[in-house]
């Protein structure tokens, strides 16, 4: 049986969506397939996103920045947008049953000292972690109730 597919979208697919993808895959990758993409992909995963994920034991260094159109011919069960612009640009995907919009600040726009910028990446990472681990817990609870 194929696992349901979750696609996490943001505009650039360089920070927030990769943080969420890594966290959700770690929390529920046994239950769902997790992917991320962007409406205007930056073409890279932000090095500070990789760094702050390593700090919590997750390696996203192998992730790549992808355009959301790469998933138009995939069965996507749930689409989760993590920024306002991606929510507005998001198409309906074949098989899509659920859509969630959880907006997070973009740490790539942080300014200040190196320490202040890293603190912003950590703050956003922790907010995403809280939200997506709660989502994964809900998926697990739903599976227990239906299974």
Tell me the catalytic residues.
10, 83, 90
Query: From CA 87, how far away is CA 71, in angstroms rounded?
Result: 16
Q: Tell whether the torsion through CA atoms of 41, 80, 73 and 59 is positive or negative.
A: positive
Q: Which residue, among 101, 94, 97, 81, has the nearest Cα to 39 in the 3D structure?
A: 81
Query: From CA 111, how far away is CA 66, in angstroms rounded?
Result: 26
């Amino acid at each position: 049986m194929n696992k349901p597919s979750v696609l996490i979208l943001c505009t650039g697919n360089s920070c927030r969506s990769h943080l969420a993808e890594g966290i959700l895959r770690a929390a529920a990758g046994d239950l769902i397939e997790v992917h991320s993409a962007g409406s205007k992909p930056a073409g890279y995963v932000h090095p500070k996103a990789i760094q702050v994920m390593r700090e919590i034991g997750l390696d996203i260094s192998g992730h790549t920045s992808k355009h959301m159109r790469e998933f138009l011919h995939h069965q996507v069960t749930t689409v989760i947008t993590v920024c306002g612009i991606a929510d507005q640009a998001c198409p309906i995907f074949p098989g899509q049953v659920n859509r969630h919009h959880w907006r997070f600040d973009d740490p790539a726009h942080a300014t200040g000292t190196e320490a202040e910028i890293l603190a912003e990446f950590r703050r956003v990472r922790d907010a995403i972690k809280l939200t997506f681990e709660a989502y994964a817990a809900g998926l697990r609870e739903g599976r227990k109730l239906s299974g």
